[in-house]
Amino acid sequence: MRFGDALSVFRNRLINDNTLKPRTKVYREERIAAMLKSWPELEQLEIRKIGKQDCLGWAAKFGQAASPSNFNNTVGTLRMVMEIAIEAGARYDNPARFIKKHRVRQKELQLPDHDQFLKIAKAIEEVNRRFSGDCAALFRFLAFGGFRKSESANITWADCDFEKKEIIVRGDPETGTKNWPIRRVPMIPDMIELLKKLRSQRAHEPASQPVMRVRECQNAMNSACKKLGVARFTHHDLRHLFATLCIESGVDIPTVSRWLGHKDGGALAMRVYGHLRDQHSVAMAQKVTFSHA
C-alpha cells in the first residue's frame, strides 16, 4: 500500500462524513495540500517503509514555516492517514505519533475601551457611504451580542424576541452554528435600543428578513481605527469585547460561555478570559472591610 492509497481512503471518508461541516472538510483538504507540497514524494512512498525519522525530518522543516495551529492540524492529518494503513494491515505502528505538537500561544487581546468603541461606531456611520449605516449597525450588533460573523448574517427579525428579550441564534440554514446547537442570547439594554431603532426604520420588512443588511464591516472598521489612531481589530475581536464586558460586569464565566455558544462548559472561556475574573475578584475584594468608615 502506498501512502496515496491510504490517503484516497481518508479523503473518501472525509467527503462522506455527515458529522463534519463543509468548512471543516475544506480546511482538512488544505492541510492535505500543505502536507503533500512540503513532502512531495510522500504520496508515492510505500507506507510500510515510512519511519519515525522520516516523519520527524519532515516535521522539522514544515514546522519552520507553518503556524502552530496549521502545523498541529497537518500532523493530525498525517496521523489519521497512517491509522488507515494500520487498519488495513499495511503496518503495525504509527510513526507520526512521535511528532510533538507545537504550542499555540494565546493571542493577546487588544480591545477598544468604552470611549474608543463609541467613537469608532460614530466614525463608521459618518463616512456617509451607501452602506455606512449598515456597517455601523453590524459593528454594534456583533459587540452587543457576541455573535460570530457568520451567525449574525442569519439572524432574522423572527429570531428577535422582544418580549423575552432574547435572540435565537440558529446559524447557517444548512450547517447550523459552529458547534451545531441553536442557542438563545439575552438582549443587553444596548441591543434592545439598537434593534428597536432598526425595526422602527424598517417596519415594512417581513419577519423572515435578516436583521443585518451587510455580512461584514472590516474595511469600515479599519478606516475608522486608522482615523482615530486605534489599534486595528477584527469582527471576532468584537465577540471578545462582548465577553470581556460581560465578565467585567460580574457575569460568571460558564454563563458567558453559554451565551457565546461554547460547548465545553466554560473551559475555553476560562483560558481566554480567566485573568479578567481574577482582576474583577481583586477589585471586589477592596470593597470588603471589617473596620467602620
215-220 mean pLDDT: 94
Give the per-residue pLDDT at 177.
Answer: 47
User: 210 and 274, same structural domain?
Assistant: yes
Asked whether residue 78 is domain-assigned, the answer is yes
Give the per-residue pLDDT at 277.
Answer: 55
> Residues 109, 114, 119, 121: is their CA dihedral positive or negative?
positive
32-36 mean pLDDT: 97
59-86 mean pLDDT: 96
Asked whether residue 12 is domain-assigned, the answer is yes
Share of the chain above pLDDT 70, in %: 86
User: 131 and 21, same structural domain?
Assistant: no
User: 45 and 15, same structural domain?
Assistant: yes
Distance in angstroms (rounded) separating the CA atoms of residues 240 and 136: 18
User: 74 and 199, same structural domain?
Assistant: no
Distance in angstroms (rounded) separating the CA atoms of residues 91 and 166: 55
Encode pLDDT of 1-33 as tens digits: 999 999 999 999 999 998 888 888 999 999 999
CATH number of the domain at 228, please. Answer: 1.10.443.10
User: 124 and 84, same structural domain?
Assistant: no
Distance in angstroms (rounded) separating the CA atoms of residues 153 and 7: 36
Q: Return the closest-CA partner of residue 256 out of 286, 288, 284, 280.
A: 280
Task: Give, in degrees to the nearest 5, the angle at Cα 233 between 232 and 237.
Answer: 170
Asked whether residue 103 is domain-assigned, the answer is no
Q: Which three cell numbers stand for residue 182?
A: 441553536
**Domain boundary pick from 98, 132, 163:** 98
CATH number of the domain at 8, please. Answer: 1.10.150
Asked whether residue 35 is domain-assigned, the answer is yes
User: 268 and 123, same structural domain?
Assistant: yes
User: 258 and 217, same structural domain?
Assistant: yes
Q: Look at strands 183-186 and 166-169 and give their pairing.
A: antiparallel
User: 250 and 131, same structural domain?
Assistant: yes
pTM of the predicted protein model: 0.68
Instruction: Please report, to the nearest 10 degrees, the dihedral formed by the alpha carbons of residues 261, 267, 273, 278 taken in order.
Output: 140
Residue 261: which domain range?
A: 114-285
User: 143 and 30, same structural domain?
Assistant: no
Give the per-residue pLDDT at 155.
Answer: 95
Give the per-residue pLDDT at 143.
Answer: 95
User: 120 and 36, same structural domain?
Assistant: no
Asked whether residue 291 is domain-assigned, the answer is no
**Domain boundary pick from 73, 98, 123:** 98
Residue type for position 21: K
Domains identified in the chain, total number: 2
Encode pLDDT of 125-148 as tens digits: 998 778 999 999 999 999 999 999
**Domain boundary pick from 69, 98, 127:** 98
User: 137 and 24, same structural domain?
Assistant: no
Q: Which is more confident, 133 or 178?
A: 133
Asked whether residue 106 is domain-assigned, the answer is no
User: 184 and 94, same structural domain?
Assistant: no
Q: What are the helix (H) ranges across 112-188?
A: 114-126, 132-145, 149-152
Least confident span in 162-171, 182-191, 215-224, 241-250: 241-250
Asked whether residue 292 is domain-assigned, the answer is no
Asked whether residue 125 is domain-assigned, the answer is yes
